[in-house]
Chain A
Amino acid sequence: MENTPIIELKNLKKSFFIGNREIEVLKGIDLKIYKNESIAIIGQSGSGKTTLMNIIGCMDKATSGTYLFKGKDITTFSDDELSEIRNESIGFVFQQFHLIPYINALENVMLPTIYSKKPLDSVKQKAISLLTDLGMKDRLYNKPTQLSGGQQQRVAIARALINDPEIILADEPTGALDTKTSSEIMDILVSLNEKGKTLIIITHEVEVAERCKKNIRISDGKII
């Protein structure tokens, strides 16, 4: 059991169709990610990083190949089953933060719990303590537009953590932030990995990639 990867991709391919023209973006990815790893996926713009992350995050389906999640083949899972995996096991952190504009920081953090089957007791306490740990104690009731980029990303990280997922999946989490804030956000993500989360970061910044234990380079739809 100890050797079962949390994520295993076998000969995974993904094509997009523009009209009737097929564009193959992922051309056979083989990848194993184990529990508590910290991995940076790097590569040039357009190399297929986001496409890969969407598939790893169960937001999108591969055109062919196999995806084993905790040893289970989820290639044929239904939309609802994939939603449950996202809800329970994956915490997304996006480059553009992607907070919902009309609810405040605290409500944004609690958002994933609306859709979870787990008991909802003390969700609010947990959200407050997550935000407090990230230095957002005084900003609980601010709307996203009343927060700086770094603060919004902290809210997004707290949201990714609220349902205790095993995996944190971050696509260019520092892409919209200045150098100082970037390193603060990276400190937070690295410390989460130290506390046991599996961390997958997509980036093209060397500083970010260097802080992960393992780097995977993707080029022209393949891991090299």
Chain B
Amino acid sequence: MEKLFKLSLLNQAFKAIISYPLRSFFCLIGIALGILSITLIIASIEGANKRALQLFSDFGPDAILIFSGSEQMRSARIRINTLTLDDMQAIKEHIIGCYEAIPMIPVRNMNVSYGDKKWRTLGIGSTIDYFTSWGWRISDGNSFSQEDVEQYNNVAVIGQEIVKQIFNGNPQSAIGKTILLNKKPFYVAGVLKERGISFGSMVLDDRIIMPITTAMREMLNERKYIGAIRARFYGDITSRINDVTELLRQRHGIKGESPNDFTIRTAEDAKQFLLVLQGTLVLFLGITGSISLIVGGFVMANLFMISVQERSAEIGIRRAFGAKKYHIILQILFECIIISIAGSVLGLFLSFVAGKLIIAYTTIPIFFSHKIFWITSLVATAVGIISGLYPARKAASLNPVEALFV
């Protein structure tokens, strides 16, 4: 009974929506655009969170990175090298729980050429443990060997971006070729598996790994210092960081209040960096999304005000045949809510399309979860109710006689 009666009001609302297509269309578009931006915001927040988690596990929750240079120097972009291979050895030997330590030295802006193809990339010198430590598999060919490290051999493992730029995206064709790195010939032993992630403007796949010895002697003419150490530990990471700090300060002869000449980063820091990066974006998008949704709601409220005026005879008729004020309110609200929900479905669809495009053409992470569906439905219903309330009350408060005879 009660249910049937509610259904018939809904039914009237549906018919009114279909019968005023232009009004309904503009309301629908307004809401859809609002929902589109809200959805993209949520999807990019969720994408960022997912990527941060990915980054966290890629980095390794039990790992630290030690860079040369103090915190202040790093933020001022002053590069000095203070860490040595001996420091690395000391960490490995003296810190309890350290089960792995690898050295890294960057060769920045390294020129790659093969035939007439040219590219500029980041070179990294390290040991054979680089790949297992970062959990970065070799998809084609092989790693350089321990022997290559010991004999300063010019052997390289190249990232997928290099394959794309130099070898037309065909990793097999790269294996065994000789490429020039800063004009020195290197044998391509293997290709890294695609990682697909970028970190700020840095594309992880755009790099070439070579033996640390080769990088130091052949590329950088560096005898002693290295760029960074990556170490992994068993047990509590915080106390290990303290141990490492103490050890390095002692080895570098830093006393008292003097600042460290090195910087330690953890997975937590890496995650934080990404979240901060997203934070400003989220704020911007959040404001944009809210504004577009408010505009959508405003458009709807105004169009319904006009509509209520146009339909005053209809409202008078309904009142004459026994509609109470709340029946009129409900019908107008139902109309608004139905349009809003339809708009949110359209907006959701548009956002899926936009999401696909964003994923295809940018590095912004986008992830759609079922949460988005519920949030947008809820938001759409709320917008429908809020923007419908004023016109609905206006309609219900019309004097039935005047509504009928104007």
Question: Which residues of A line the B interface, CB within 8 A?
Answer: 50, 54, 57, 59-60, 79-80, 83-84, 86-88, 92, 94, 98-103, 107, 111-116, 119-120, 159, 163
Contacts and interface: CB of A to CB of B under 8 A. Distances in A.
19 contacts: A50-B405, A79-B324, A80-B325, A83-B319, A83-B322, A86-B320, A86-B322, A99-B317, A102-B15, A103-B12, A111-B318, A111-B321, A112-B321, A114-B8, A114-B9, A114-B327, A115-B324, A159-B321, A163-B322
Task: Report the 4 A-B pairs with minimum CB-CB distance, sorted nearest first.
Answer: A87-B322, A102-B19, A112-B321, A115-B322
A89 B143 CA distance: 93
Interface string B315-350: 011111111110100000000000000000000000
Contacts of B8: 113-114, 120
B322 A103 contact: no
Which of B1, B15, B322, B324 counts the most A-chain CB atoms under 10 A from its CB? B322
Contacts, number: 76
B4 interface: yes
Which of B320, B327, B401 counts the most A-chain CB atoms under 10 A from its CB? B320
B15 A119 contact: no
A57 B320 contact: yes
A103 B314 CA distance: 11
B321 A86 contact: yes
B122 interface: no
A111 to B, nearest CB: 6
B110 to A, nearest CB: 72
A114 B324 contact: no
A98 B317 contact: yes
Nearest to B315: A100
Nearest to B8: A114
Contacts of B401: 54, 59-60
A60 B320 CA distance: 10
B325 A79 contact: yes
B227 to A, nearest CB: 74
A116 B324 contact: no
Contacts of B324: 79-80, 83-84, 115
A115 B404 contact: no
Given A59-B400, A86-B321, A114 B313 contact: no
B404 to A, nearest CB: 7
A101 B62 CA distance: 72
A79 B1 CA distance: 23
Given A102-B16, A107-B15, A115-B322, 14 more contacts: A59-B404, A60-B399, A83-B319, A83-B322, A86-B320, A87-B321, A88-B322, A92-B321, A98-B316, A111-B318, A111-B321, A114-B8, A115-B327, A120-B4
Contact of B320 (A59, A107, A113): A59
A115 B325 contact: no
Contacts of A107: 15
Contacts of A113: 8
Contacts of B1: 119-120
B374 interface: no
Nearest to A108: B317
Contacts of B323: 83, 114-115
B5 interface: yes
A18 B379 CA distance: 45
A189 to B, nearest CB: 18
Contacts of A120: 1, 4-5, 8
Contacts of A119: 1
Contacts of B399: 60
Contact of A92 (B16, B20, B320, B405): B320
Contacts of A83: 319, 322-324
